[in-house]
Structure 1
Amino acid sequence: MPVNLLANAACLCRRQYERVFRYTVGMNPKEYSRIVRFQKAMWLMQRGEKSFAAIAAECGYSDQSHLIRNFKELSGHTPESLLKQHIPYSDMFTHPV
């Protein structure tokens, strides 16, 4: 969901919403969204039901290369190299905090 819509729902301007979000969560909304997409991609990989292209589409990446780039930035591995070493694990969607 776009930050402007979230800010409007909270009755705040975008900048104020971003400040409150950063203070509360510890990062800006865009970075948080990026981490959530990464966690969801790991969770789908862990389940082993889908191709990387299908995972990219389901997680909101523009394409498979976008998924791979983001995955490497956040984990230091491509999805394929991580799978070769061990099964990725994410319980964010099975046991949310």
Structure 2
Amino acid sequence: EEKSTRIYPIDGGLTDSSGAKNLLTPEEIRTVSGWKNCELALQEFEQNKKIRLLDVLFCDGGCIMGPGIESKLTLEERKKKILAYAEPPR
């Protein structure tokens, strides 16, 4: 089942919300965050022809840890809030 695009700002949000996990194997997907990891993923992508999807977010932990987000919450607390927000209403 595809998830809400509301989870996009967290690590792996694109992969989860797009339903790519149902279409591609784990070997075909790379999910990373943080500029160093993004750089390494791009280098790997050039070498590894099996990779078909790069789900990269430049900020460590995803957009929820970016410089434009002012919060005293930890990464885990922020993730919990995003995931709760993404749940469909009952």
Q: Normalising TM by the smaller chain, what interval? A: under 0.3
Q: State TM-score, norm by structure 1.
A: 0.25
Max Rg structure = 1
- Which one has a larger percent helix, Structure 1 or Structure 2? 1
Q: State TM-score, norm by structure 2.
A: 0.27
- Which one has a larger percent strand, Structure 1 or Structure 2? 2
Larger RCO, structures 1/2 (Cα 8 Å, 6+ apart): 2
